[in-house]
Amino acid sequence: MNGLGGLNKSDQGVVLGMVQLQLPNVVTPADLKAQTQKIVAMVGKARRNLGTMDLVVFPEYALHGLSMDINPEIMCRVDGPEVAAFRQACIDNKIWGCFSIMELNPGGMPYNTGLIIDDQGEIRLNYRKLHPWVPVEPWEPGNFGIPVIEGPKGAKIALIICHDGMFPEMARECAYKGAEIMIRTAGYTAPIRASWRFTNQANAFQNLMVTANVCMCGSDGAFDSMGEGMIVNFDGTILAHGETGRADEIITAEVRPDLVREARRIWGVENNIYQLGHRGYVAVKGGAQDCPYTFMQDMVAGRYRLPWEDEVRVTDGTGCGFPAPTRLYGGGA
């Protein structure tokens, strides 16, 4: 199935490379420029590392590090020089790439943005993180939804970022929109290691979907990121795992979107993405197709409220040094 990490590539296979990038410390525009060149060099390493690789994936914060610095001088634009360098690297190395930037937002706080660029240098996917890791992260909530694109070999690909993957609804949305491979990039540190592992597997199994996941790696002198590149098959089986946490190692595996399609089509037992909308189809024709979930109905109606809502202690970022916001969502650019 895995072809020795992609060394023996099948006709239907897609080979993924998850870069456990060394965690940088980026403070100045000069630091940003140097880190851009480091990432460009790593795209070249990925191509030299494995000639069969289709898509190289860099973690969240690959360009900016974990400082949460919102200094406009080091924020990026999708049409800026950093992204232009990434686009050229994909062209030069004839490879697709997944990259992370902190995107300038003139109307509010920066966006945490992920991009997938094809081997012709075209931006094929532009995603803004829907669920910043509150209260630690200051990023504007994303407003692009979850795009799904056609990637190498026609594979349907979605991208989510870090904390997004702790919400099962995010992976379910990816699958519902047709994703066969869900990429999850992250900057997580060691305390999240166990949660990272079981959510990556659960997100795959519950949706019959490959999940490809990677964190930053190593230390910047303050934070220690864990690497933990994980490629998980649609049945929840781990195909590849960077358990050693070696910085700049590229974790690879071949995945088979055609087998994802087959499982979604022919599985009866545990075809959960189908069965969610067809409850009890053995007893009633077509299954029950209602929505018995109160939280879904309340969220759509704008009245989502927990029974313990008034007791929640942390509801803004003041404990992490950010001022309490006064602007309502939707007011940004």
* pTM summary value: 0.97
pLDDT per residue rounded down to tens, the chain (333 residues): 567 899 999 999 999 999 999 999 999 999 999 999 999 999 999 999 999 999 999 999 999 999 999 999 999 999 999 999 999 999 999 999 999 999 999 989 999 999 999 999 999 999 999 999 999 999 999 999 999 999 999 999 999 999 999 999 999 999 999 999 999 999 999 999 999 999 999 999 999 999 999 999 999 999 999 999 999 999 999 999 998 889 999 999 999 999 999 999 999 999 999 999 999 999 999 999 999 999 999 999 999 999 999 999 999 999 999 999 999 998 544
Burial class (CB in 10 A: 0-12, 13-18, 19+), 243: middle
Pick the closest to residue 87 from 74, 101, 73 (CA basis): 101
Q: Give the span between the Cα atoms of 247 and 111, in whole angstroms.
A: 26
Q: Which residues contact 129 (CB under 8 A, 6 or more apart)?
A: 111, 112, 113, 114, 139, 141, 142, 160, 161, 162, 163, 164
Task: List the CATH code of the domain at 3-275.
Answer: 3.60.110.10
pLDDT at 244: 85
Which residues are identified as catalytic? 60, 129, 162
Beta strand extents in 129-168 (DSSP E only) = 148-150, 156-161
Per the CB < 8 A criterion, the answer to whether 83 and 91 are in contact is no
> For residue 175, what pLDDT is reported?
98
- Residues 269, 271, 275, 281: what is their CA dihedral angle, to the nearest 10 degrees? -30
Q: Give the residue from 220, 141, 147, 138 showing the smallest Cα distance to 177.
A: 147
The per-residue b/e assignment along 249-259, b for 16 or more CB within 10 angstroms, e otherwise, is: bbbbbbbbbbb
